[in-house]
Chains A and B, each alone.
Chain A
């Protein structure tokens, strides 16, 4: 049985129906790639699932409980990595992490947990305003997974990052999956597309299943 189900999510912007009833079922340990052209509604879908935007219709079920109506459950289950850098620029990585972790857990995660895997130790005392794009993105992911979420919603996590940094993020996603986590990944990146287990193209508000065979040129034509 699928742990996570999206049922009939609809979203209107004025009279325009941006999402026309999105349905999806995902089992544990899977990464779902949501592909689509710019403006197709990928970020809107993830923002709705994260609880930032309100859906006009539909449900987002975790073990048959609707997380769109149960905010405390959603806070516990979902980790959300939006586009941009959700960080406080003046503060160091350590101070930013303290917003999400208590001190003891933070130390432990930095030693041998998820934060160690993301390599955050390397720039722990550096203020965010002096970090590279890759450092910022890794730190943002580190912040998002503070509550040990079971579902990770990632909106183009490795956009504009160098190969080394992309590799680190991809490794983290693989590890997250291996521990039974579910990832919904909105992406344009070939490397990220390859780690997904299922692919969907969001076009004109409808989610179409897609069999990715490694041919990026063919995929581009489909978007």
Chain B
């Protein structure tokens, strides 16, 4: 009898992890927001980098290993956005299930529309260029849709008992996104064709989706700080081209952009590129709501 009791107790403990929520760890808050939309209450989703951090320069802190050790699904932006920190974390996490090639590893860029793939040779004379294409692709909501579908598929395979929930959550998310896209398109119609300069080359997907024209960058090459000569020619170009907006991510120092804006007449917009980039942005749709609101406000007085 004692043996049977012990067996029952052991079975309960062993069964507990199966009933537990799927543990999902993402590199960014954007991916975490999409995963949370799809997973609902069936998964525990955490992000490593905060939305107000530059995702290129996240430190590979050992404390992140505590999250990764228990993760069942790891999702990264890919295209070498996290190359400075994610591979080091993965190889140190002692969790083989989430290593590249394993079922618990997911690269969200697969299936997405990727812009800015270099056509010629690539080397570091071009700056911190991404040879596989521009990794800021989540800033096109259609790519968000692709990512959500991929996450739903992956969760359904890993957790078939809840696959119905994942499908239903995905369908609800897609419906909400479609409604939102109609709103956003109406809102963006006011600034179609507006010329902008951005600090870093983070906005090609966003610009293409909402009709902005990116004319130049504050960085002469990705990741390379601007020289006085570059700033001088940028100011001249902004004046000559009729650039109306200067978009800067919140993690860059504003001293130089403020000078460029003041001397060129372009309106400076500090615009978050990620969920969590401002305290109030908590969802993927909320990110576009806020971005378009900022652009609309900046252009309102122009």
Q: Do A and B bind each other?
A: no
